Amino acid sequence: MPPCTLHVGRKELFHGDSPSGRYSAFFEDDGETGYFYAVDLENKTTRILDAVHIYNVANVTDTTQPSDLSIVWSRDGKKCALLINDHSHAVFDFVARRGYCRTNFPNFPDSDTWFSSTHTWSDDAAAWLYAET
């Protein structure tokens, strides 16, 4: 997806579909927080696989400045990254069934389908992003 303009604290929703067609991801600012979601378009019962916290609006220092937001997919369509002003904030790996974010939140018991007891950031998780550009 080409960069979109994000206004932190304004209710907005951005999505980007995988080139493989099976997965999608979306970013939502609900006016108070920003979250990034992993979605399986073929799963009829559990479409949202994982969610990671990106920011609390109250903690963002300059909400008056617009930002560039992009959802970038790996060539095989099995990984995606959320970029804000060209800085990676979160990654979903649909094969490993794992999400990573810089806030490491939220964490809840693992499900049968997705590893979610930690969302600890890993530069290795985003290495593909820089290798493919």
Q: What is the pLDDT of residues 22-39, one digit of tens each?
A: 999 999 999 999 999 999
CA–CA separation, 20 vs 11, rounded Å? 29
CA–CA separation, 42 vs 106, rounded Å? 25
Residue 57 is classified by DSSP as: G
CA–CA separation, 97 vs 113, rounded Å? 7
What's the confidence (pLDDT) of residue 47?
86
Contact by Cβ (8 Å): 67, 5: yes
What's the confidence (pLDDT) of residue 14?
97
- 84-109 average pLDDT score: 93
Q: In what order do the strands lie in the sheet with 12-17?
A: 12-17, 23-29, 33-40, 48-56
Confidence of residue 2 (pLDDT cuts 50, 70, 90): confident
Percent of the chain at pLDDT exceeding 70? 97
The neighbouring-strand residues paired with 90 are 82, 101
State the first-to-last Cα distance of the chain, in angstroms, to the nearest integer: 14
Query: Is residue 99 over pLDDT 80?
Result: yes
Confidence of residue 103 (pLDDT cuts 50, 70, 90): very high
What's the confidence (pLDDT) of residue 1?
72
Phi first, then psi, for residue 124 (nearest 5°) are -65, -35
- 49-55 average pLDDT score: 95
Structure tokens at 67: 């930002």
The neighbouring-strand residues paired with 48 are 39
CA–CA separation, 61 vs 3, rounded Å? 21
**Which helix (H) or strand (E) is 131 found in, with range?**
helix 127-131
